[in-house]
Amino acid sequence: MKAIVFSELGGPEVLTMTEIPTPAVRPGMVLLLLTGFLALKIGSLLFVATRIDICRDRWLFAFLLSQGGEFAFVVFGAARAARVFSPEWEALLTITVALSMATTPLLLLAHDRFMRRRDREEREPDVVSPEGPVIIAGFGRFGQIVGRLLLASDIRAVVLDHDPEQVESLRKFGYRVFYGDATRLDLLEAAGARNAKLLINAIDDVDASIALVDRVRANFPDLEILSRARNVSHYFELRLRGVTVVERETFESALKVGRAALERLGVDRFRAKELADVFRRHNIASVEATLPFYQDEGRRMSIAKAGREELERQFARDRERFEREHGGKARK
């Protein structure tokens, strides 16, 4: 079997099927070329970053620039046309460069998972001093809002966060943030957990958040916990551990956007608020009713379905009442 391949020199080249370059039949060579290319480029970038101190995180710099560029495809085509190397080598080098581009996201994921974990393990926790009646565990986007509100109300808090870069950044803005893993018993002791009045659990990682609650419940049973929840499953896990004040982090903001959407669509703003309040009460009641059956998926789904149907009926009744009271006008 033959195939026609048009050469960049002007005339067609006739090759048999076995002569057509196919990198797929040489995966070992492709892997070897890819590994060598990445090792050479990452090593060169690390050397440059070290010599001229181009950035603080040299590994991140090297990983970001480790891939080959599109210009390599032009160079390979010209080299084959000039008969510097064969069509097979052009195909091998082309697939190597293409794969190097695909590895960049994987290298960045590896950097986030392993390099930052190594940094945290190598750094010792800060010496923590109790500064107030509140401990805030986690000072990301959620914890910062709580902390700023308390600080504006002249209430001091001990703030713990496990991300060293986050800690250093916040300190530049004048925040008293201590580096360390809030789930560690010794760190909680140093932060004054035995005498504190409240623990604000603002950790974004679900497993770490639950581990913190378990540690506090076991060692500081009198310390009241207020917690964020990333989703309903997280909410259930916290409630089952006796945390009574749990706020789903996107629930209230989503309700406000929903209210704004209703108003933009012509619903009276007081009516929009009423609808949002009805939805809030119903949703909270439905989630609490599901709590005892959290582990029973069939029962949980049945309760959720019944809750949706009841909400629809309630909205229909409210709409009819509203239209009767306002002469059939439910919009501006």
Single-letter residue type at 111 = H
- Confidence label for 136 from pLDDT (cuts 50, 70 and 90): very high
Helix locations, 84-163, DSSP H: 87-110, 116-122, 141-152
Q: Which range (115-129, 136-150, 180-194) has the least confidence?
A: 115-129
Minimal CA–CA distance to 259: which of 270, 247, 272, 246? Answer: 272
Contact 136, 162 (CB under 8 A): no
- Confidence label for 6 from pLDDT (cuts 50, 70 and 90): very low
- Confidence label for 75 from pLDDT (cuts 50, 70 and 90): confident
Query: What pLDDT, on a 0 to 100 scale, did the predictor assign at position 15?
Result: 44
Query: What pLDDT, on a 0 to 100 scale, did the predictor assign at position 187?
Result: 86
| pLDDT, average across residues 211-224 | 94
- Confidence label for 63 from pLDDT (cuts 50, 70 and 90): confident
Question: Which residues are CB-neighbours of 192 under 8 A, at least 6 positions away?
Answer: 130, 135, 158
Q: Which CATH entry fits the domain spanning 134-247: 3.40.50.970, 3.40.50.720, 3.30.460.10, 3.20.20.70? A: 3.40.50.720
3-class SS at 12?
strand
- Confidence label for 144 from pLDDT (cuts 50, 70 and 90): confident
- Confidence label for 200 from pLDDT (cuts 50, 70 and 90): very high
Burial 91-107 (b: 16+ CB within 10 A, else e): bbbbbbbbbbeebeeeb
Query: What pLDDT, on a 0 to 100 scale, did the predictor assign at position 12?
Result: 47
Q: How far is CA 227 from CA 95, 185, 244, in A?
A: 50, 18, 9
CA distance 328 to 326: 6
- Confidence label for 175 from pLDDT (cuts 50, 70 and 90): confident
| pLDDT, average across residues 72-81 | 79
Sign, Cα dihedral of 300, 305, 306, 311: positive
For 291-313, the pLDDT digits (tens) are 877 666 666 667 666 666 666 67
Give domain limits for the chain. 2-122, 134-247, 253-325
User: pTM score > 0.75 for this model?
Assistant: no
- Confidence label for 261 from pLDDT (cuts 50, 70 and 90): very high
* 80-89, 117-126, 234-243, range with greatest mean pLDDT: 234-243
